[in-house]
Amino acid sequence: MERKVGLLYLPNANINSWVNFLEYYGCKVKVLNFGDEFNELDAVIVPGVGHFEKASRYLQRRALDKYLFEIVKSDKTIIGVCLGMHLLFQGSMEGGGLGLGVFEGYVKPFSEVVNHNTNIGWSEIEVHGEENRRVYFNHSYYVSSDQNNAVAWNVFEGFRYSAITRTKNIIGIQFHPEKSYSDGWALLERFIYE
């Protein structure tokens, strides 16, 4: 059955990657700006790529933070990816600024815990209760593995951190499912179709 997926417009996000990916797997996609109708959608994605502080300011300036809270209250599935995931937390050390606070905790830099400041590449992640999946990461900031809502984990230079975080209808994904070929879709499909 075709699913209708909203894609929140953020100025530095890889919007076209997401449109391509979702349409390839048979979803109908609607790019969302503030105030756009979302009732007919099955899920809303907050895409990644960008800088936390800039994105946080953009959300507040356009009242998109309030708009996202409306979607949260409506019980729609919301999926934040990479930077989109970070925006669901209370804040980030990437320039500062406030997140939506849907998840507790702050996003921190890799430079504090490992030798290299950015994790770029393919890793096999551990998913709670499921088989491991090979997915693509590209990020310099991470969410702690101790985060209460973590349901999947990754390791970078021996350091374990959260790869997927979830509370009810809100899901945060640190890697890029839209760039992880069939394994990315296998993980995302579950959230969109459940």
Catalytic residue among 82, 86, 94, 139: 82
Q: Give burial (CB, 10 Å; 0-12/13-18/19+) of 174.
A: buried
**Residue 50 in contact with other proteins, rule: CB under 8 A:** yes
CA-CA distance, 111 to 93, in Å (whole number)?
A: 11
Residue 10 · residue 58 · CB < 8 Å: yes
Say which of 27, 40, 176, 194 is annotated catalytic: 176
Any contact of residue 179 with other proteins (CB under 8 A)? yes
Active site residue 139: no
Which stretches of 36-132 are assigned E, i.e. beta strand? 43-46, 77-81, 91-92, 106-109, 119-127
Nearer to other proteins, 140 or 148 (CB): 140
Asked if 82 is an active-site residue, the reply is: yes
Among 1, 2, 61, 158, binds other proteins (CB under 8 A): 158
Q: Do 181 and 17 touch, CB atoms closer than 8 A?
A: no
Which residues contact other proteins (rule: CB under 8 A)?
Answer: 11-17, 20-21, 24, 49-54, 83, 94-95, 111, 115-126, 132, 136-140, 153-158, 160, 176, 179, 181
Question: Known catalytic residues?
Answer: 82, 176, 178
